[in-house]
Amino acid sequence: MPSVRSFLFALLLLLLSTAALAQVGVAITVGPPPLPVYDQPLCPGDGYLWTPGYWAYDYDYDDYYWVPGTWVMAPEVGFLWTPGWWGWGGEAFIFHEGFWGPTVGFYGGINYGFGYGGVGFFGGEWRGRAFFYNTAVMHVDTVHITNVYVNRTVIVNNDSHVAFNGGQGGVNARPSPAEEAAARERHIPPVAAQTQHLQAARANPDLRASANHGKPPIAATDMPGDFKGNGVVAAREAGGKYEPPANRGGDATRSDNHAARATVGHVRDLAPPEHPAAPNTGNPKLDQKYQRQQDKLYASQQKERQKVAQQQEKEDQKIAKENDDAAKQRVEQRHQQQTQQLQQRHTQQMQGLQARQKPRK
């Protein structure tokens, strides 16, 4: 029996690896829906910073889904949130993940509202160890939170609602030297509360664009992951007309590869990524430069893979010692989502780099 189980396990890994390789070419050629119109829920307490809602993409359903705006505790004193953003990379739309840092960087020129007008952030500022809220754009209970001020020169209205940069109909904005410098500063990726918030949104079918047509029933929440409390705010209206492309929305036309890929539970189960093809622009010096860029990104992704795989292994070993099946299931689900997101992010990063390296006509 042990030999049979070993054979079946090896066969399963082979199938999963084949499915993973089949997904490398996935590209998003249709931009996200316009940003919906919604009100900001009341700030839950001192030290919480606003993170705007945005459209994420679910490869298993070939559909965008809305990640509600929410209040999140800053991971460090003095840190601000730079929202993620979608940008056209020449052949596909690439999502650039948001981050925490001492300076707000480039976020595509997207007007997310509530102090994020496309450049910088005007919803508040750090003064020493306290965050002061600009009540002209932030919904704050000034009875319980007294560190506030009013700056009414901030533009509040968002008439375009465009949710992506570049491409046809996208925002035409490029990062300034200061914004590029902000991306090189020490920063922190989305915290655990934001990751869990994203996962909860992905699991909610009502938040898919094909279901809500750009008007999500949960547009914002006062706390991350709380989609049923009194702090839930529905969208007042869609930001514009959106028609999902054919074969999107999680219907029966999904390919078997989608289902197979979703079962990859750990980074260690992923097939080794193929090294990208050598650049061939006709200019040897330029090809060498592009090759160095690809090698650097490839090495960075491999390092991240190893780090995540090691962390998952530690968590598996720890939870295996506990007699809690529900907790084990939660860890497995988190690892599955974490693995899928890493694979998608790496694919998009390499596609984006290769798209930028193509000679312009």
Give the DSSP H/E element, type plus range, for residue 310.
Answer: helix 284-320
* Selection from 271, 281, 279, 254 nearest residue 347 by Cα: 271
Let me know if residue 227 belongs to a domain. no
Same domain, 78 and 208: yes
Asked if the model's pLDDT at residue 264 lies above 80, the reply is no
272 and 143 part of one domain: no
Q: Is the alpha carbon torsion for 163, 167, 171, 175 positive or negative?
A: positive
Taking the complete model, does pTM exceed 0.85, yes or no? no
Look at the chain and report how many structural domains it folds into. Answer: 2
Whether 33 is in a domain gets the answer no
% the chain with pLDDT above 90? 43
pLDDT reading at 202 higher than 60: yes
Give pLDDT tens digits for 16-50. 333 333 333 345 888 999 999 999 999 999 999 99
Concatenating the DSSP letter of every residue in 139-179 gives ---TTT---EE--TTS----S----EESSTT-B-----HHH
- Look at residue 66 and tell me if it is in a domain: yes
Residue numbers of the domain that contains 81: 48-221
Of 239, 241, 218, give the one whose Cα is nearest residue 157: 239
User: What's the whole-number mean pLDDT along residues 2-19?
Assistant: 40
Residues 131 and 205 in one domain: yes
Average pLDDT over residues 86-115: 91
Residue 164 pairs in a beta bridge with: 86
- Split at pLDDT 50, 70, 90, the class of 62 is confident
Q: How far is CA 69 from CA 38, 109, 198, 249, 273, in A?
A: 10, 18, 10, 22, 34
